[in-house]
Structure 1
Amino acid sequence: MTPPPAFAGLAPHADGRPWVMGIVNVTPDSFSDGGLHLDAGRAIAAGLRMREDGADIVDVGGESTRPGAAAVTVAEEAARVMPVVRGLVAAGAVVSIDTRRADVMRAALDAGARIVNDVSALCDDQQSLELIATRRCPVILMYRRGTAAGGYEAAAGGDIVAAARTFLAARVAACRGAGVPQDGIAIDPGVGFVGAAPDDNLPLIARLAELSTLGRPIVVGASRKRFVGAISGEPVAARRLGGSLALALAAAARGAAILRVHDVRETVQALKAQAALARIERTGGEAG
């Protein structure tokens, strides 16, 4: 493993393993953990446990992006996430805010969030790109096909990896043109947001190296997704740990810089084991 490109002032791990982003959904209806962290106190406690378990970033979101999720107002989204952001920042956690709305981004940044994680790649709110550029705030730009309200669409022919690369290259260029620093941009190919079938999503992991040519850290979030259940025959999202770990390790081996996960402790342990094996391979099997 080699250290990822610089991003958001995060310190690279000495063994080269990816950073881990723990998921805290402050929602009643997220696909895996909806309702578990709707109470701010429980959400803060969950985020701090993730940090203790090895999360480098805690990602806080107040709007479900599962297909068919109910819409929420900006005010409702902010009311859900802001106490959690404040509590985690006060405890010293590196917080990212998972939102498509500039007003929520602004409030979270004012409260100390360090990163904006936008599933729309700063497209859904016309004010968001200017905000990120003005604040010089690190941002994660994601590719998706469709919306939560209308569902996520499989590619109708063509090359999904090439389509993701073209879109993300354009959004990186837009950010750079607006003044966002190079080391303030990461990209996410949108695993789980390009259709529900394994064959819609697996190429985005299998061919991750093609996205690395954009020169930005790559975020992969396969954790507990529906297509993982389709592969494994497991209908219950919370029981998809094995498949999620397998894909996390595959993404790490192919150059992912950040893994967005529900199961932080298990993922960190798996990554440490993978990094240790990689070290032995590099040294020809000698200890040290």
Structure 2
Amino acid sequence: MSQTPIDVALIADMLDLQKQERLPHAILLVAPFGFALKGNAKAIAKSLLCQQQSANGCGACKPCQAFENQSHGDYRRLAQAEGKASIGVDQVREACDFVAQTSGYGDLKLLIVDGADKITVPAANALLKTLEEPQGNSLILLTAEFSWALPATIRSRCQQRIIKPPARELLEAFLTNSGQGSVSSAVSDYELLRMAAYAEHSRPQFFQLADSILDALITQQIDVSQAYSQLDKTDTLETVNSLLHATESTCARESDAPNTSRLLALLELQQVLGAVLRRLRLGSTPAKEGLIYQICTLIAQVGRGDLAAVAESKRLLGINT
């Protein structure tokens, strides 16, 4: 996978805050479509831990070399364990204990919580305790594709920073290096960024499938049974996650459209998919066939702008938003 572009201005801002001794205790990193979150979080960490305070690290000092060798004693990255749908409380407690330890290389301890929107409720409560009681000179850097999925108590204790979309030529280069081929000049900057975000995932074709099915259902090019037959063979959590990404993108495109009822229905769909995704990440195991078929039915109702039918589907799914 090609390296994602870095927000140079954001890193420079972080270094300035460090030099002025004004670094916040916690930062929530967000980005359109979640693109380049991991790469930017890592670049910020390397920069702040570098003895030379060099953007993306000088690469020569002892902390930089330790960082590259994954042996830096003052840095840790927390993410969901392999095969798990969420970040658990034991993981968070261990990471918080790390933050509380004395710094070894310098005066900054840095923890990245990658995919903080995948955190369980008990884990969020454990993290909140550390955020409420900062431990010395430490920085907790959270990344989230869906920042609204984080508890409000967590969000309120973080300074939010938005990663700016890279220049078009950088996105085109990223797509080319990722094996996606050249991009037509007719493709809008918005669509180009979305393509890059899909390519960044380990299974970009899965996101593209969800995107095409959502569009075809909404525009009534296929029916519910046809959509279900294509999604039935896919992982349930990945299906819901990908459909949520596609729905957010569609909401953005429809925001200026005259069809108000469809936009309202799309926003309802976004809320439902978000609620279902949270349940799945917390360990809920609904019958896959029923869940995916009901979601496909809901999407078709959204395409018709049938808010009454959407409300009934929400009731059948047990969603109160």
| TM-score under structure 1 length normalisation | 0.32
Name the structure where helix makes up a greater proportion of residues: 2
Structure of larger gyration radius: 2
| TM-score under structure 2 length normalisation | 0.29
